[in-house]
Structure formats: structure tokens, C-alpha cells
Amino acid sequence: MTALIAAGAANMTQTPANKRWWQTRDGRALLWLLALTTLVVGAGIGLRDPWPADEPRFTLVARTMVETGDYLFPQRGSQLYSDKPPVFMWLQALFYQISGSWRLAFMLPSLLSALATVGLCFDLARRFYGVRVAKVAGLALLFTVHFTYMMKRAQIDPVVIALITASAYCFLREAMDPRARRFWFLGFFFAGVGVITKGVGVLGLLMPLSVWLAAKLSLPGHRYLAPDAQRAARAHAGIRWPLGMLVLLAAIGIWVVPMLWTVWREHTPEQLAYARDILLGQTAERYAKPKHHFQPPWYFVGVMLSMWLPLMLVLPWVVGAWRKARHVRRVKVLAPLLFALLVVLFFSLSPAKRDMYILPALPMLVLAFAPVLAVAERRVGYQRLLLGFVGLLALGSLLIGLAAYFGEPKLERSLIEARGPHASFVYLWILLIVLGTSMLGMLFGLRTLRVPYRAYAALTAFWLGISVVAMPVLDGSSSARELMEEVASKLGPDDQLATVAFKEQDLLQADRSIVDFGYKTPKDVQLARAIAWLKGAPKQRYVLANKQFVDHCVSATNLRHSTVANRRQMWLFGLDAIRDECVSAETPP
């Protein structure tokens, strides 16, 4: 263990004058890791549409940006969308302009975020411990189940994770050599861009605090990552924080300044409400007084022990190594570890918790665990745990597939009840059988490979199967494509369609423009406005709505169409299905 720590600086490969960086051992290792990341995370891109809960919302906002040309004020349907800043939607719109396909564009920011996060983690581990440990760290991060799953989703969190990791990376690089002051300011810049992606992007600024605490707790002689760091840091201590904060504000101002200028110039009530909510209601107020996702303070402990596998299998060796080895009291170990703990603590203090909130802590935790993990991978005990975890995943897939394919009707019936009657799941059962069999074959048949590589090969097969087969099979029901195709078949080419209590995927998949009555408008007000809209052209206008919001006003006997889609009973109806007492009711403003 101590040898790994001491070898870090010596193993930092300098590119020879007659070689390009990609021709070196370090460069080849990085390219191989990035290629594997592209395969695992990028598989399936272009084979499915956005899925709830969040993907359709962001894609709809990005599509509206492209259609309207308004990139300062994100819009969901007919109302402004003030829940999140626009950077993620900007990226989706940019990739659409490049690719011309929303099926490609909506996932590409997540893929690039995965590549950036894995690459930055690899580079820090390489500089700290050498290329062998760096490969171990990169693979551990890539195949942590929570990380892989999130990076294959088109949500804001992958981009935020990449930006927070980039900010932390820059601060650690500056701590390694404070004379490289550009990294100090880049750290603030990435934190600022993180803020206008999602408010918690500012958490990258926890790394300077972590480095300072690590220096206080470290052994004498190991308080900085470079011998002259203390002298260089003191030389610029008085001015670098104020200048860094100016860089942070400049990065935030990329969007906030033109947005506020437009609000001041045009002064519309909608824009004023948007600016007030996005700058106040969706930041500190949402953290301190959330409205949903309530969980106990210890919630994230369960998330890490369950979703951060197989990384967390190394914990017994981490505890054992850290109890005996003095290497722990070094900044290169303590700073990433303290950063991860501070991120988890920050989110634990809020009443609202979701599993993906703490993912920005994962890359730094992998970096802190990396030298122990490199040693544990050669221990029989850890190898058995790793084989057991992946083996259980493979065996579970095989048994579920066999049970469903050979006659367990409850599995398919439950899927049909939730997703609709038109989907066929036989390919899903065949996939699970093939996946389980092939994964077990890789784990116990590829004896020439080391156990970790067998496990990662099996996990690669698992994610490829899920991405290339399972997601396309489930896409029609999950994305609402089948629902909107059914709706289109019940309407004429000139018929008009409106929606009550809409879901973003409905608008995305529609074959025509859909009238909505405001996402945040109360459901009863939306229905009353929809009825008034139907009166304007009773023979050409129809409404699509979730049964639970309209059944008190709509007669089931006069429906144009009724179907189940993505756990919703959807009704398509015209004015003739509205009960008399609702037709005559006064329309709210």
C-alpha cells in the first residue's frame, strides 16, 4: 500500500519528445477507458425516445427553445419553466442543431458528461498513484451501478456531476502546484457554470475547504501536494479568493445577466415571476423548505450501500488499511474523502432527498479508495464478493427470464396493466435468459482473465443488453409513442387536440400541435377551460386527459377512445361526452 502511494509521482509519465500523448502508456490507457465508457454509456442512443419522469420535460423545453428561438426563458407547454436553469437544455438544443435528431440529441450531454467524469477521475488517480491505480479507479467509477444507470439517463444530474468533478479536479490540480493559478480560476468557472445548470453545481467550491482541512489533519511533511505549495499559496492568499469569486459570478452571468436585462426591459408579469422563482424559490427555499421527496437523515447511507455497488464491496479492506496505514493522513487521500463526506452531509441536512443528489461525491470517493481498491482486487476475499455480486445479478436475470417465458403469467400481466395492452414482452424474457447465461459464462468460464475483468465484462454485457434490447422493447409504452399513435388513429387530419393535466411525453410524441391550459394551473380550472375550448368547434376538437382528473365531468359511455398507457387510464373525448352540469358551468378566467 505504501509503495503505491510513494510511486505516484514517479509514475507520472512525461510524454517523450518523439511521441504523442496517445502513444504513451498513460495515453493508451485513457483512450481504452474512454472507448469502454462510450460503449457502455452510449449503447442504445438513438434507439429510444425520452422517458418519464424527467427526460421528456427537458427535451420538450429544448425543442421549444429551437422552435421559438427563446433561449433565455425555458418554456414547458404554454408556461415558463422556472424549476431549473437552462444550460442542460441549451446542450440538448445544440446537439439537435448538429445532429438533426432529438433521439440522438437528448442523450448526448449525458454521454459527454460520463466521458468527462471518468477521464478526470482517471487523470487525478494517475497523477497521485500511477497509471495502474488510475485504470482501477476509472473502471470502478464506470461500473458503479448508480453511476452507469444515471449516465444512461437524459437528466440534468450527469452534467452537474461532470461540472462539480471538473471544479474539484481544478482545485486539486492547483493544490498540487499552486503556481498553476489557472486551475484555481477554472475551478471557480466550472462551479459557476454548474450553478446555471443546477444550483448545487456550486458544490465544487467544497474542494478548497477539503484541501485546507486535509492539510490540518495530515502528517507533518505531507500537508501539501507539492513541496513549495505552502509558500506559493501564502503568496497569493490575499487576492485569489476575491478574484475567484469574480470568475464565479462572471460564469453565472453568462445566463443571469441577459435574462435579468430582458426582464427589466420587457417587464412582463410572466418574466418577473420566472426570475423571482428561479433565483429565490428554486434555490435556498427549495433546499430548506422542500415540498416533496422527504426522507430521513440516514437515507443516503442506504443509497451508498446498495446502489454504489460493486465499489462498496471494498469497504472491509478500506477500514482495515486505514486503521493500520499512515498513508491515510496525506492530502491526496484526505481531500477527496472529505469532499465526498461534505457533499453527502450537505444533502443529508435537507429534508428532501433523492438518490441521485449525492452522486457528485462518488468520483472523489473512488479517488480516495483507489489505492486500497488496487490492492484488494488481488485478494481472494474481495474477488469472491465481486463474483458473488455479479453472479447474483446474472442468476436473477436468468431465473426471472425463465419463469416469465415458461409460464409465469403474473410478470407479463403486471407489465401489460401498467404499460398498455399492445406491447409484447417476449423479447424481454429472451433477453434476460441470454443475459443471465452469458454473464454466468463470462464469470466462471473466462479463467484466463482476472476476476475483476470478468466481472466488468459481465456488467458490460448486462448494460449492452438492457440498452440495445430492453429499452427499445419498452420504449413504445414508456415514451407514450404508442398512446399518441392510438390517439392519432382516432382523429382526422384536421381535428384539433387539447390536453388536461398533460405529461410532457404526450406533447413530444403528438403528430400535431396540442393546446394545453398551463401545467401548473389547477386541474379543475384546466378542465373548465378545456370544456370552453371544446364549445368553440364541437365537431373538430377533442381532449386527451387522465381519467382520474376528468371522470366527474366526462361520461365513459361517450368516449372517443380509452386506453392504458404508462400507468395512466387515458380518455379521449369530445363535447358530447361532457356531462350537462359541467357544460353549463361558468368558465374560470
Alpha helices (H) in 325-422, listed in sequence order = 331-348, 362-376, 380-405, 409-419
Termini Cα distance of the chain: 71
| Location of C-alpha cell 488510475 | 134
Specify the DSSP class assigned to residue 155.
S
> For residue 226, what pLDDT is reported?
57
What's the confidence (pLDDT) of residue 11?
47
Written as one letter, the residue type at 248 is L
Mean pLDDT by 10 residues, the chain (589 residues): 45 55 84 97 95 93 95 92 93 96 96 97 95 96 97 96 97 83 93 94 94 80 54 60 94 95 91 89 66 82 95 92 70 92 93 91 96 93 95 94 79 64 75 94 88 95 95 88 92 93 92 90 91 92 92 88 83 91 70
What 8-state DSSP symbol labels residue 572? E
Contacts of 468 (CB under 8 A, 6+ apart): 43, 44, 47
CB of 435 closer than 8 Å to CB of 397? yes
What's the pLDDT score for residue 452?
A: 93
293: left (phi over 0), alpha (psi -120 to 50) or beta: left
Model confidence, pTM: 0.92
Separation CA 379–CA 374 (nearest Å): 10
Q: With contact defined as beta carbons under 8 Å apart, do 574 and 534 qualify? A: yes
pLDDT at 583: 78
Do the strands 541-546 and 496-500 form a parallel or antiparallel pair, or are they unpaired? parallel
**Alpha carbon of residue 541 to chain centroid:** 38
* pLDDT at residue 407, as a whole number: 74
Amino acid in position 73: F
Peptide bond into 310 cis (omega under 30): yes
Three-class SS of 456-502: HHHHHHHHHHHHHHHHHHHHHHHCCHHHHHHHHHHCCCCCEEEEECC
CA–CA dist 214, 206 (Å, integer): 12
Q: Can you name the residues that pair with 76 across neighbouring β-strands?
A: 79
pLDDT at 478: 87
Q: Tell me how far apart the alpha carbons of residues 164 and 188 are, in angstroms, rounded to a whole number.
A: 10
Residues 561 and 538: beta-carbon distance below 8 Å: no
Q: Give CA–CA dist 269/276, Å, rounded.
A: 11
Q: What gap in Å lies between CA 103 and CA 481, rounded to an integer?
A: 13
